[in-house]
Amino acid sequence: MAKVLRILSVAALLVAVVAGCGDAAPQRSTAGGVPRSLARAWEAQASAIADAARAGQDCEAKRLARSLRAEVRAKRQELPLRLRAPLITGVKALAGRITCVPPTTSPKPKPPPKPGHGHKKHGHGDHHGDGDHGGEGP
């Protein structure tokens, strides 16, 4: 539960930073804010990460966090200098905090051998020894 709370707090911080800066400039980062379209997209992604973590879907949360990290890195030139480092550090930390343990599939156990009648198979013409197997008799 503590891990989920840490993930949620980092995601909430990212949402607050991005959302708070998104309205500062229509589409330019030079005015001091994150471009509005990026802010909205990243806010939605951070919320989706938090929702997946809250639901116990760690692998999905990690996949979403990695995607967000890649997008922030790819768009870093559009971010104001004062926000680049905190956003990049935040998304990197978020992706690093989520642990995905894929479900393991154990191999199917081998079926038990079919019950036999306890002796080796042998050919019908291969009988040796005494017995009533159709040979010469007394």
The model's pTM: 0.58
pLDDT tens digits for 105-114? 777 777 777 7
Mean pLDDT for the chain?
75
Res. 123: pLDDT tops 90: no
Task: Round to whole Å and give the CA distance between 2 and 118.
Answer: 59
Side-chain half-sphere exposure of 62, counting CA atoms within 13 A? 12
Q: What is the pLDDT of residues 36-89, one digit of tens each?
A: 999 999 999 999 999 999 999 999 999 999 999 999 999 999 999 998 999 999
Q: Which amino acid is at 96?
A: G
> Which span out of 19-23, 24-28, 92-96, 117-121 was modeled with the highest average pLDDT?
92-96
- Going by C-beta distance under 8 Å and a sequence separation of 6 or more, which residues neighbour residue 39? 18, 19, 21, 22, 23, 33
- List the structure tokens of 34: 């994150």
| Maximal CA-CA distance, the chain | 118
